[in-house]
């Protein structure tokens, strides 16, 4: 039996590009092989490797919901050689995609419970597929209320504005709070950092999971607020996307102690994270 090479990218085409912020774009991609596209399956929180031919490849979270079967989306911030090359591509450009990799948010364990999503800036990218998976018509009955607390440095740095300001708030059972770090002209919403906003909103911990992703300092101080509110370590999940290279736990680049972020993560609950060496 022929075994597919897990390190071999599949040719893919960029079919659309959405400018999210000044340095973040969402790339909508289809695999060139129709059978491979039809067979593609991923879960909320998983990652995939994107390659720009002749430049290099990098790991990104999958930003589209598993319930969207016609394309795959990656939201990518321009920050280095590969991401700069990706940002220079136009619709119709060819790239490579391999994956999906890693574990996912525990959507089975989350059934019947409420969800609190806390995101900062581009950190909303791995949380977006979780929200869209849960509000998809075929899944909505399986999950409770969804609260989303999302912040960024400025209005211009908020991603997915159509979903954040229209689609999600208009969905029954979904509440969205947004905040920016400092006042700016035209912004009439909340001003302040995410951890302080969490303390102000005071979400209740009963029958609720938390999915959080954003800048490390935001996560650090938000976790303290969640602890004050009574959330337990086992209720809180976050995703790490650091230093991943091969994606299959072979190269050793992303290991933290005995765990490989690409294979054993990238999603960990807080209890599991506290068992890891302080290397992340």
Give tens-digit pLDDT for 262-275: 677 688 888 877 87
What pLDDT score does 1 carry? Answer: 46
Measure the CA angle with vertex 202, ends 200 and 204; round to 5°.
175
Q: In the prediction, which pLDDT does 5 show?
A: 72
What percent of the chain lies above the pLDDT cut of 70?
A: 88
Binding residues, by number, are 246, 251, 254, 262
Residue 251, pLDDT above cutoff 50: yes
CATH 2.40.30.10 location in the chain: 10-101
If you average pLDDT over residues 36-46, what whole number do you get?
A: 95
Q: What average pLDDT does range 72-79 have in this prediction?
A: 96
Give the pLDDT confidence score for residue 274 in this predicted structure: 80
DSSP 183-218: --TT--SEES-HHHHHHHH----TTEEEEEES-HHH
CATH 3.40.50.80 in the chain: give the residue spans: 107-239
Supply the pLDDT for residue 254: 62
Q: What is the mean pLDDT of residues 215-228?
A: 92
Distance CA 210, CA 224 (A): 13
What's the CA gap between 65 and 28, in Å, rounded? 12
CATH class, range 107-239: alpha beta
CB distance 166 to 191 below 8 Å: no
Confidence (pTM): 0.91
* Sequence-distant (≥ 6) Cβ neighbours of residue 122 within 8 angstroms: 21, 24, 75, 77, 159
pLDDT digits (tens, 9 = 90+) for 83-103: 999 999 999 999 999 999 988
Q: What value does the mean pLDDT of the chain take?
A: 91
Q: What DSSP character marks residue 278?
A: S
CATH of 10-101, one of 3.40.50.300, 3.40.50.10800, 2.40.30.10, 2.60.40.1180: 2.40.30.10
Beta strands (DSSP E) in the chain are 10-19, 24-31, 47-52, 56-61, 72-77, 94-101, 114-120, 146-152, 174-180, 190-191, 208-213, 236-239, 255-256, 259-260, 267-269
pLDDT tens by residue, 139-188: 999 999 999 999 999 999 999 999 999 999 999 999 999 999 999 999 99
Give the span between the Cα atoms of 26 and 100, in whole angstroms: 18
Please give the annotated binding residues for [2Fe-2S] cluster, written as ranges: 246, 251, 254, 262
């Amino acid at each position: 039996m022929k075994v597919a090479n897990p390190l071999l990218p599949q040719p893919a085409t960029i079919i659309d590009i959405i400018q999210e912020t000044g340095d973040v774009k969402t790339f909508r991609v289809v695999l060139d092989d129709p059978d491979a596209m039809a067979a593609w399956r991923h879960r909320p929180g998983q990652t995939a490797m994107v390659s720009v031919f002749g430049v290099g490849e990098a790991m990104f979270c999958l930003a589209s919901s598993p319930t969207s079967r016609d394309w795959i989306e990656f939201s990518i911030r321009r920050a280095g050689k590969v991401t700069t090359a990706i940002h220079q591509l136009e619709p119709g450009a060819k790239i490579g995609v391999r994956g999906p990799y890693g574990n996912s948010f525990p959507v089975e364990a989350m059934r019947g419970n409420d969800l609190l999503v806390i995101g900062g800036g581009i950190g909303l990218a791995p949380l977006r597929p979780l929200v869209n998976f849960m509000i998809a018509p075929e899944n909505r009955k399986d999950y409770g209320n969804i609260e989303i607390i999302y912040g960024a440095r400025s209005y211009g740095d908020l991603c997915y504005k159509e979903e954040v300001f229209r689609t999600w708030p208009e969905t029954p059972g979904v509440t969205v709070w947004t905040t920016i770090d400092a006042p700016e002209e035209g912004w009439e919403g909340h001003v302040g950092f995410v951890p302080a906003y969490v303390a102000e909103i005071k979400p209740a911990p009963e029958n609720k999971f938390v999915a959080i992703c954003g800048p490390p300092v935001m996560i650090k101080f938000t976790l303290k607020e969640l602890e004050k509110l009574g959330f337990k370590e086992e209720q809180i999940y976050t995703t790490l996307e650091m230093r991943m290279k091969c994606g299959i736990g072979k190269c050793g680049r992303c290991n933290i102690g005995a765990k490989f972020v690409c294979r054993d993560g990238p999603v960990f609950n807080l209890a599991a994270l506290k068992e890891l060496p302080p290397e992340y």
